[in-house]
């Protein structure tokens, strides 16, 4: 489904990624962990196309997508959320989520200008679908007309997940979805992520610091440290790996 092969990326002197290779298991949740600055977000940026790797490739569904623009990759079915929430702040929750449906809609300029007819049909169909598959699913009915700015942080994270789900993606990249959340919000979000994987069969790539959550819901874990991939395997394998314990778990303890 999604595979990165020997990806190298540097910013000036900083080597953010040095030979990262792994394949996300289709329909499962793969965790990417590592201390701050390990290169997790850079990896996501290389996968979604914001950064061009110095070396190595990204494959999606068997095709090399390394040279495609971010919007082309999104169109193919790669969705993501950002570590620092990148919602459209001036819009309502509903409009944000509708934007997630962009690539699935067909309305072009001419039918948009006349609206009544095919464009209207498509828009109402999108609305119905979003209400059923995203808004109900994430339990955000009560805030659909709210502007993003007045929502608490935890809900904003949930709306951003909703916007990504509206794309009906094949692969979903989540960059620290529970960072800064309290215990209850974290539990909710973990449940939603599991539901996303179970109900929709979406392949999930998850960057997260909350080790309990990562160990709980991921079937496979990749560990980065200073841009290097120091381990990869099941939660049990990874948490028993001496290198990982030293570099990450040890440092955290």
Contact residues: ligand ADP, CB under 6 A:
11, 14, 16, 34, 36-42
Q: Which residues of 98-124 are buried (b: 16+ CB within 10 A; e: fewer)?
A: bebbebeeebeeebeeeeeeebeebbe
Q: State which of positions 120-149 bind another protein (CB under 8 A).
A: 120, 122-124, 127-128, 131, 145-146
Shortest distance, position 86 Cβ to another protein, whole Å? 4
Handedness of CA 28, 24, 176, 45 (dihedral sign): negative
Q: By CB under 8 A, tell whether 100 contacts another protein.
A: yes
Sheet holding 78-80, edge to edge: 78-80, 171-175, 203-207, 29-33, 220-225, 228-233
When binding is defined by CB under 8 A, the residue of 1, 23, 68, 105 that contacts another protein is: 105
Q: State which of positions 9-48 bind another protein (CB under 8 A).
A: 48
Q: State which of positions 76-135 bind Mg ion (CB under 5 A).
A: 83
- Write the CA distances from 111 to 95, 119, 130, integer angstroms: 20, 6, 22
The contact set with another protein (CB under 8 A) reads 48, 50, 69-72, 74-75, 79-80, 82, 86-91, 95, 98-103, 105, 107-109, 111-116, 119-120, 122-124, 127-128, 131, 145-146, 150, 163, 167
């Amino acid at each position: 489904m999604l595979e990165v092969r020997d990806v190298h990326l540097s910013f000036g002197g900083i080597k953010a990624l040095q030979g990262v290779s792994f394949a996300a298991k289709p329909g499962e949740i793969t965790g990417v962990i590592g201390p701050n600055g390990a290169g997790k977000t850079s990896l996501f940026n290389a996968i979604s196309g914001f950064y061009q790797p110095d070396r190595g490739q990204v494959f999606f569904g068997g095709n090399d997508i390394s040279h495609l623009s971010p919007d082309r990759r999104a169109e193919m079915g790669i969705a993501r959320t950002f570590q620092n929430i990148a919602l459209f702040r001036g819009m309502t929750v509903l409009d944000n989520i509708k934007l997630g449906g962009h690539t699935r809609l067909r309305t072009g300029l001419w039918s948009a200008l006349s609206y009544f007819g095919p464009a209207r049909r498509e828009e109402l169909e999108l609305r119905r679908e979003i209400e059923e598959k995203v808004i109900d699913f994430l339990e955000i009915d009560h805030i659909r007309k709210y502007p993003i700015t007045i929502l608490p942080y935890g809900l904003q994270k949930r709306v951003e997940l909703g916007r990504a789900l509206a794309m009906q993606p094949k692969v979903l990249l989540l960059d620290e979805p529970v960072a800064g959340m309290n215990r209850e919000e974290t539990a909710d979000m973990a449940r939603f992520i599991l539901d996303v994987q179970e109900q929709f069969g979406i392949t999930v790539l998850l960057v997260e610091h909350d080790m309990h959550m990562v160990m709980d819901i991921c079937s496979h874990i990749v560990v980065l440290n200073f841009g290097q991939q120091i381990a990869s395997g099941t939660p049990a394998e990874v948490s028993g790996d001496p290198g990982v314990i030293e570099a990450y778990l040890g440092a955290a303890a």
